[in-house]
């Protein structure tokens, strides 16, 4: 279906849902990570000009914000998929969820009342960085993040918010493949392995003509590294991969066993710049191009000669950009769901780079245990190697009474093996193991109050 017709039909469907909904609808306001946005709310925001950051349910009338409908324009089967938040709206027509794509770093600042509030402007990609979620109140109902809560994040929460909200709830929702998009008119396929990825990002390979790449190119094709300039869980997950697979190998300085070795070249961080700079100096890349959001990175790659970047594969496919295979595997080949061992679900643990630690503060152990973390050493995929886990976060206490059940329903939808919709290419649910699924659902019930 043509995207304009699809947009129109989805908007009409949304209006019908409004008429069917209750006058006391619970409007949930959230935002944060861009990585899971194609699965959460679809990618119709890509069809607008300028592109929307706010992919909100049009049924929410206040505040009045121009927005995209919930839906997908991905080529192929994804064009007919229902985003998770749209499925939530269909299952619970009295409720709706709004999502502003700010990046994980900004999302956590809003959660922690760290200089930003949920009722700040979301805006679109033509405006400066968002200052909030376009909510009608200063506190968010939830956030999305691919960069799990760290000691510093939880300490800020304890200082600013814990007196009323008690503890942070963190629930893993999806796993997704981080693709490596590229642009070179002379290259139609790019087959990489771990070594080649490590050597490119450590600036040992700076030109597509490098013999190790085996592309058979001549002349000069200097690689422009396109990276996220905003705080990003995608950057955190990607640099975690680089740290785990590259340090101490393939001519990259560091330790293969000690994530805290001071000689490590790559350091997991939601800031790509912080993760790869050596003593404040960039590696000797041929060129650099910053961009905001996964959609911005992919668009920048697409418009830049000889560019190379990283972003969720659904976004890459939506924009029609070429992407590499890694170790012969494609990022588009994620299974419908992953089966994680219950022992891989840590509780009451924060993640500092590649190191876990106990959540700080005076909340009870049971309250801190509402912070769920998929162990960084858990095997996420036996195929494509660059995979991120993404999370939804909320508050333990003082949620508006009318929003407690809708919040629980939204979070539980990711583990509802009957009603959860089919995901876009490159994403997997984490619901394959019944005991893991039961643990998550129990936590959602007991932790959102």
pLDDT, residue 173, reads 98
145-149 mean pLDDT: 95
pLDDT band at 21 (very low <50, low <70, confident <90, very high): very low
* Three-state secondary structure call for residue 388: strand
Contact 96, 24 (CB under 8 A): no
62-78 mean pLDDT: 64
Average pLDDT for the chain:
90
pLDDT, residue 212, reads 97
Contact 327, 193 (CB under 8 A): yes
Bridge-based pairing state of the strands 427-429 and 168-179: antiparallel
pLDDT, residue 15, reads 36
* Per-residue pLDDT reduced to its tens digit, 311-350: 999 889 988 999 999 999 999 999 999 999 999 999 999 9
Contact 158, 361 (CB under 8 A): yes
What does pTM read for this prediction? 0.88
- Domains and their CATH numbers in the chain: 3-175+337-376+391-447 (3.40.190), 178-333 (3.40.190.10)
- The answer to whether the peptide bond before residue 385 is cis (omega within 30 degrees of 0) is no
Ramachandran angles phi, psi of 99, nearest 5°: -140, 125
Most confident listed range (37-46, 65-74, 129-138):
129-138
* Per-residue pLDDT reduced to its tens digit, 352-369: 998 999 999 999 999 999
* Per-residue pLDDT reduced to its tens digit, 361-396: 999 999 999 999 999 888 887 789 999 999 999 999
| Packed helices 84-91 and 401-412: angle between N→C axes, nearest 10 degrees | 130
148-153 mean pLDDT: 97
pLDDT, residue 273, reads 97
Distance CA 29, CA 54 (A): 11
pLDDT, residue 79, reads 59
């Amino acid at each position: 279906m043509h995207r304009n017709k699809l947009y129109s039909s989805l908007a009409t469907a949304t209006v019908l849902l409004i008429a069917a909904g209750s006058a006391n609808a619970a409007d949930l306001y959230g935002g944060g990570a861009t990585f899971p946005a194609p699965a959460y709310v679809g990618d119709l925001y890509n069809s607008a000009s300028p592109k929307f950051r706010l992919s909100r349910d049009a049924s929410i009338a206040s505040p009045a914000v121009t927005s995209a409908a919930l839906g997908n324009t991905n080529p192929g089967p994804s064009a007919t998929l229902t985003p998770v938040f749209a499925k939530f709206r269909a299952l619970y027509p009295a409720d709706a969820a709004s999502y502003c794509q700010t990046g994980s770093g900004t999302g956590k600042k809003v959660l922690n009342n760290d200089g930003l509030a949920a009722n700040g402007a979301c805006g679109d990609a033509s405006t400066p960085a968002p200052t909030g979620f376009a909510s009608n109140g200063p506190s968010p109902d939830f956030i999305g993040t691919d960069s799990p809560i760290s000691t510093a994040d939880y300490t800020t929460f304890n200082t600013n918010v814990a007196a009323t909200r008690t503890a942070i709830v963190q629930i893993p929702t999806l796993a997704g493949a981080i693709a490596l998009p590229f642009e070179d008119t002379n290259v139609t396929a790019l087959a990489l392995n771990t070594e080649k990825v490590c050597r490119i990002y450590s600036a040992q390979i700076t030109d597509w003509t490098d013999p190790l790449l085996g592309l058979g190119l001549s002349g000069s094709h200097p690689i422009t590294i396109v990276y996220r300039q905003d705080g990003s869980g995608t950057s955190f997950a990607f640099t975690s991969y680089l740290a785990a697979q590259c340090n101490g190998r393939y001519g990259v300085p560091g330790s293969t066993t000690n994530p805290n070795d001071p000689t490590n070249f790559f350091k997991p961080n939601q800031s790509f710049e912080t993760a790869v700079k050596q003593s404040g100096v960039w590696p000797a890349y041929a060129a650099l191009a910053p961009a905001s959001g996964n959609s911005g990175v992919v668009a920048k790659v697409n418009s830049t000669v000889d560019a190379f970047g990283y972003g969720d594969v659904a976004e890459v496919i939506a924009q029609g950009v070429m992407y590499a295979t890694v170790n012969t595997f494609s990022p588009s080949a994620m299974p419908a769901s992953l089966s994680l061992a219950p022992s891989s679900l840590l509780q009451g643990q924060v993640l500092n780079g590649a190191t876990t630690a106990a959540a700080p503060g005076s909340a009870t152990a049971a309250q801190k245990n509402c912070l769920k973390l998929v162990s960084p050493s858990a095997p996420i995929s036996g195929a494509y190697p660059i995979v991120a886990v993404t999370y939804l976060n909320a508050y333990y206490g003082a949620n508006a009474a009318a929003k407690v059940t809708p919040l629980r329903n939204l979070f539980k939808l990711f583990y509802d093996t009957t009603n959860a919709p089919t995901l876009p290419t490159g994403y997997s649910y984490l619901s394959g193991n019944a005991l893991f699924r039961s643990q998550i659902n129990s936590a959602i019930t007991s932790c959102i109050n």
